[in-house]
Structures are given as structure tokens and as C-alpha cells.
A and B are shown apart, each in its own frame.
Chain A
């Protein structure tokens, strides 16, 4: 069965696209669109020989992500103005942070919502300031609203009534109910100021946030893009000090998984994986290593199956693997009893009256 491997090959080795015919480009573009990676693909293959029709299409995709970049930066500026008087640190996250800091990971990246991180003690003031500046609630359901406020790492999403753009206000990077609890205070304390009054996470934290988002939260939807971010960030920042930082946030194993998979799919700069693996694990008996590698190898295979579950028509494939990761995402997010209660409540709400 065909999967998203052609997209992986095109991103990691853009010159390999020289071998594609028209049908190959059509399939590649369809899967890149479905994985929100068409802008990234367009940047990677810019200037390489290809059919003129594909060139025109990808040029338009580049113009489009460039426009998206302008919109994302403007939205960040709007949030900065709305929150300026509060005098709290406002840390940009994900796509907006990558383009604001001019990072490789931001090149061609599609950006949807604006994600910001603020200190938890300021969250009420931030919410009030945003509501005062034209943002409005999206989730009208009182259970959802209460659920967000009590258990999530972010406020319920807000949308701006004129610009129709969504903002996610985080006070940490994983749900409060998740088994892993990163050190939100350290994330903010060590964040880096940009020239415009906004901040971004320190390099190691930026990588670790992307890792946490991909492997400790959610069902790996959009995983190829997320893993591409991780690959670019590692490429740009290196991994010299990241193991210690990962330990602080409790994300060592997730980091190891991310680096292994990024290396497998996107071929990270050489030796990164060995370095990280060694510094995380330290020396240990060979037989233990062997046993771990066996286990690790098997579950990596499942992750790869899920990440690549997209065909040349842009269709989601491997429904049972997808379902398994969907179930896993809920399992990660909250303890079993709470999960049961949550699903029960959601089911009763969804059932016809």
C-alpha cells in the first residue's frame, strides 16, 4: 500500500524529485496539502527542475505561506498591544514563534492559530484584556468551558470578532491531568525577548515543547509537520544541552522518541541521535540496552505506521492505527477514572435527547 513516503523523500532529499513524472507530482502535492506541508515542500524544491505546471502551483503555495506569515505576525502584534498594559511576559509558541524568530522551521510553514504562553497567575488578567480587545468565546458549552478551565493547559479558545483569528492562551504546555508535568515557570523564566516586546522559548525548550505536543498530547494528527519542525529546530540549535533540560521537564523518553523518528524519517544531521541517547541513558549493561532496543524498535514501527498514514490521493489511511493513537491520546491526557467520567459526560451530551 502506498503511504506518505514520497513526501518524506521529497523533504529530506529535494533533488530526488527529479525522478517524478506528472502523476508523481500530483500525488506528492495532494499528500503535502493534506499534511499541511505544501508550503514547506515548495520551499524545499524551489529552483529545482520540475514540470512547469508543478512550478506554478508551488510558487503560488509559497506566496500563500508568505502571506500567512504576515498575517501571523500581525496577529501576534495585535495580542501584544492588547496585553501591553498588563506588563506580563507573553511567549509566542509554535509556528508564530518560528517565523517571529526567523527560524528555519518557519520557512514555508502554514500557521493557523496564535498560541501564546503566559504565567498562570496572570491568566485571568490576560483573559479579561483579550475579551476587552475584541476576542470572544468559541465554546458555548458550559461543560467544555469548565473542563478547559479546570484541567487543561490553556484557556478555552478565543476568536477575534473582526479578524476571525483564533488565539490559544496557554499557562503550561501539557494538560494539568497528563502524567508528565513540564516546569512552566522555567519555560517562562528562561524565555528569550524578541525586539518587538514579545518573547519566544529558549532553544532547548522550543524543541521540547514541540516534542511534548507531538508525543505526550494528541493523536499524532499533523505529526509529519510537527516532526519536520523538530528536525529543523535540532538542525539549527543542536542538542548539546537538551538532555538535561528534558530531564527537568520529565520529557527524556519523549525526546528520545522524537529524535529517533525525526532521524529515521528526515535524516537529522549525523550523530545527533547517538549523542542524545547516550546523555539521556548513560552507560548501562549491554543486555538491558538490547532488551530496550527491541521494545523501542517495535513501538517506533507503530509510530511510523501512524505518521505515514496518508496516500497519494491525500486520503487518511490505516483507520485502526489511527484509532489506536486516538485512544492513546486520551489515555495520556488523563487518569483512567477521570477519562471514564469525561467520556460518559461527552457521550450523554452527544446522545439524542
Chain B
């Protein structure tokens, strides 16, 4: 394809090709500190293309493609190039990954041990992970935690942090010196802005961690905490995994080991300060 960028994020690498310069230029800039793919082999190919040749210039619209695609992809405006690339890269992992069990969760690490946070969209996964990173935790990822079925360790996938609506302002005041992508207004997910993970998250992205706490946060409720038993955790994590079924027995073994060995809590929180305090307290009580 005409414009290309290669990058490695944690254990996954991508070749992103585009019919237009702008999306690849924006991506290359935001990911400028990320290494090239290991051995120059990209695990996944992503294509941002014009569905019809004239769409390159005339009312340009990005169609998402790649090794793995969903049948009905809706084209996106050219201005949303970074979002398009991010969505297409996520899709490759979600549909194609077979080396790791994928959990739709954010993850942060301290002393070689990781906290996973999973929940529905709007639960605050990304925001909490970014705030904890601002307080000295290492960010492992805000979207996917990759569990190695052989050893049970969590691998990092520190892609750009995807901030939505109010959390954009929260993070801009928490990290005034951080790098942000362009503000994308009125996307299907609301206002959206990408935050570049800090230097430690990028430098140490190849380091796995031992999962030590699984949290199920819920935003907008009075503070509450409840132990999540392994049976419930198992069901919730199968729902939070995009490739649990595809991994077959390896997926089952990896997930049962995780829910048996790792304590899990559901936490409700009214605001981010309360949530951070809850996480830190649960962590020190481990």
C-alpha cells in the first residue's frame, strides 16, 4: 500500500497500510517511541483503504481491513484516521490472536505483579489504569490483557490509551505534560482522545507480570466492595474474552487457573479519587 507504518506493541506487531498519508503520519507520530516489529515480521496486517478508487479524494472515507475483518464494517471519516487504525489493530487481536488468552481488561503492574481491571464500557478501565500509571504504577494496557496459557503470566499491550468524554478532561489535568492525539468529536463512542502511554510503559512493554488481583470496577455508585468467587469470575471473564472459545482447552485451563489463584473484587466507586484509594488499599491488603 502507498503509506505504511510498522510497530510492535507488547508481544503483538502490526503492519499498517493506508491509501492516505494522514492516518499513517498521525499514527507514526503518536507511536514514535515504539520499536519496529521483532525480526521485522508483523503478526498482523491492517489496511485503511478507500472502498472505491474515487473515494480516495471525493468525500474520502476509510474502510477498515486486514487479516481479520468483520463482515459489515462502516467506513469512517478521514479525520478519524488514528481511531480507524486503533480499531483495526484491536480487531486483529480480538479475532486473530491464538498465542494468548485475550481479556478485555486494563492492567497495571508494581513489583512484577499485576492488577487487572475489567468491566463494561464506561466502567472506568482506561481512566483508572491511566491514573494509577500517573501515580507510579507501570501501565500494561487499557484495552487487552494477554494471558500466556503456558505460564499464566500477563503480557502487556500498551497501545494508545483511549479516553472518552469526561475522562479526557480528567487526564489532561492529571497529566498536563503528557502527549495527546487530536480530539475526535462526536464519534459513535462520544468525544474521544488518545493518550500516549508514559516512557516506562513503552520501555518495559516486553516484561510480563504475575496476575495478583482482578477488579470489576463500576463507576457512579456509592463505594462498595464485594468478593467475586471463582465461579462468577470464570463466567464474567469468558464474556470478557474475545478468543476464549477459539483457544479451546488451552483457554479453559488458562482461565480456570486465573480465577482459582487470583483474588477478585467487585468495586463500586462514586469518583476517581475514591477508586484510586480503594485500589491502593486492596493492593496493600493482599
Contacts and interface: CB of A to CB of B under 8 A. Distances in A.
Query: Do A and B assemble together?
Result: yes
Interface of A: 21-23, 25-26, 29-30, 33-34, 51-54, 56-57, 59-61, 63-64, 67, 70-71, 313-315
A60 B98 contact: yes
B136 to A, nearest CB: 32
Contacts of A53: 13, 37-39, 41, 43
B39 A51 contact: yes
B155 interface: no
Interface string B18-39: 0000000000000000000111
B5 to A, nearest CB: 13
Nearest to A54: B41
A54 B13 CA distance: 11
Contacts, number: 64
B56 interface: no
20 contacts: A22-B37, A22-B40, A26-B42, A29-B67, A30-B45, A33-B67, A34-B67, A51-B39, A51-B41, A52-B39, A53-B43, A56-B99, A59-B99, A63-B250, A67-B246, A313-B17, A313-B45, A313-B47, A314-B47, A315-B65
B240 interface: no
Interface string B233-258: 00000000000001111100000000
Given A53-B41, A67-B248, A70-B248, 17 more contacts: A21-B40, A22-B42, A23-B40, A25-B41, A34-B67, A51-B41, A53-B37, A53-B39, A54-B39, A61-B98, A63-B98, A63-B250, A313-B17, A313-B45, A314-B45, A314-B47, A315-B65
Interface of B: 1, 13, 15, 17, 37-43, 45, 47, 65-68, 96, 98-99, 246-250
B72 to A, nearest CB: 16
B56 to A, nearest CB: 15
A23 B42 CA distance: 8
A26 B15 contact: yes
A315 B67 CA distance: 9
B239 to A, nearest CB: 16
Contacts of A59: 99
Max chain B C-beta neighbours (<10 A), residue from A53, A54, A314, A315: A53
A29 to B, nearest CB: 8
Given A30-B67, A61-B98, A67-B247, A313 B40 contact: no
B32 to A, nearest CB: 20
